[in-house]
Structure 1
Amino acid sequence: MSFGRGVLTVLRHKGERQKPSETCGKFAVGKTISLRPKEVRSQKTTVVSNRGKSKGCLATFIERKTRLYTAIQMPDRTALSTEIAFGVAASQCSARVFQTTTADRGKEFACYLSLEATHDLQVYFAVPYSSWQRGSNENANGSYESFSPRGRISHKSQMKLYRLLYILINHRPRKCLGWRTAQESLIEELSHLA
Structure 2
Amino acid sequence: MPAPFPADESVVGARRLTLREREEIACRNAAGEGVRAIARAIDRSPSTVSRELRRGTVRRKSGYRATVAQTLADQRSRRPKTRRLACEDRLREHVQNRLHAKDSPEQISRRLVLLFPDDTSMRVSHETIYRSLYVQGRGGLRRELVKCLRTGRALRKPRRTADRRGRLAGMVNIAHRPPEVLDRAVPGHWEGDLITGAENKSAIGTLVERSTGYVMLLHLPDSHRADDVQAAMLEVMSRLPQTLRRTLTWDQGQEMANHAAIAVAAQLEIFFCDPHSPWQRAINENTNGLLRQYFPKGTDLSGYHRDYLEFVAAQLNNRPRKRLGWRTPAESLDRLLSDQEPRPVLR
TM (norm. structure 1) is 0.83
Residue type of the alignment partner of 1:163: F
Name the counterpart of 1:155.
303
Q: Deviation of residue 17 (structure 1)?
A: 9.8
Name the counterpart of 1:11.
none
1:31 is aligned to 2:172? yes
Distance 1:6 1:155, change over 3 A: farther
> What are the Cα deviations for residues 46-90 of structure 1, in whole angstroms up to 9, with x where unaligned?
112216425331111001101001111112121111111111111
Q: Deviation of residue 110 (structure 1)?
A: 0.7
Distance 1:128 1:54, change over 3 A: closer
Distance 1:33 1:52, change over 3 A: farther
Which one has more relative contact order, counting CA pairs under 8 Å at least 6 apart?
1
Gap runs ≥5 in structure 2: 1-97, 104-148, 341-347
Residue type of the alignment partner of 1:79: A
Name the counterpart of 1:175.
322
Q: Which stretch has the larger CA shift, 131-140 or 41-50?
A: 41-50
Q: 2:239 aligns with which of 92, 102, 117?
A: 92
Residue type of the alignment partner of 2:254: K
Q: 1:47 aligns with which of 193, 209, 230?
A: 193
Q: Deviation of residue 15 (structure 1)?
A: 3.6
Q: Deviation of residue 24 (structure 1)?
A: 5.9
Residue type of the alignment partner of 2:306: Q
CA contact (8 A) 1:56 1:73 kept: no
The within-5 A match list for 1:6-155 is 15-16=150-151, 25-29=165-169, 30-41=171-182, 42=184, 43-50=189-196, 52-53=198-199, 55-74=201-220, 75-150=222-297, 151-155=299-303
Name the counterpart of 2:139.
none
Q: Deviation of residue 6 (structure 1)?
A: 5.0
Quick one: distance in 2 between partners of 1:104 and 1:17? 27
Q: 2:312 aligns with which of 155, 164, 175?
A: 164
- Between structure 1 and structure 2, the one with the greater Rg is 2
Distance 1:160 1:114, change over 3 A: same
What is the root-mean-square deviation of aligned Cα atoms in Å? Answer: 2.6
Residue type of the alignment partner of 1:38: P
Q: Deviation of residue 4 (structure 1)?
A: 6.4
Secondary structure at the counterpart of residue 162 of structure 1: helix
Residue type of the alignment partner of 1:71: L
Aligned residue pairs, count? 183
Quick one: distance in 1 between partners of 2:227 and 2:219? 13
CA contact (8 A) 1:68 1:186 kept: yes
Q: Which stretch has the larger CA shift, 179-188 or 114-123?
A: 114-123
Secondary structure at the counterpart of residue 339 of structure 2: helix
Q: Deviation of residue 148 (structure 1)?
A: 2.2
> What are the Cα deviations for residues 64-122 of structure 1, in whole angstroms up to 9, with x where unaligned?
10100111111212111111111111122122411111111111111111112112221
Distance 1:6 1:143, change over 3 A: farther
Quick one: distance in 1 between partners of 2:248 and 2:166? 18
Q: Deviation of residue 26 (structure 1)?
A: 4.0
Quick one: distance in 1 between partners of 2:304 and 2:102? 32
Q: Which stretch has the larger CA shift, 23-32 or 73-82?
A: 23-32
> What are the Cα deviations for residues 127-175 of structure 1, in whole angstroms up to 9, with x where unaligned?
11100001111110110012321324222111122112212x1111111
CA contact (8 A) 1:48 1:58 kept: yes
Quick one: distance in 2 between partners of 1:109 and 1:191? 32
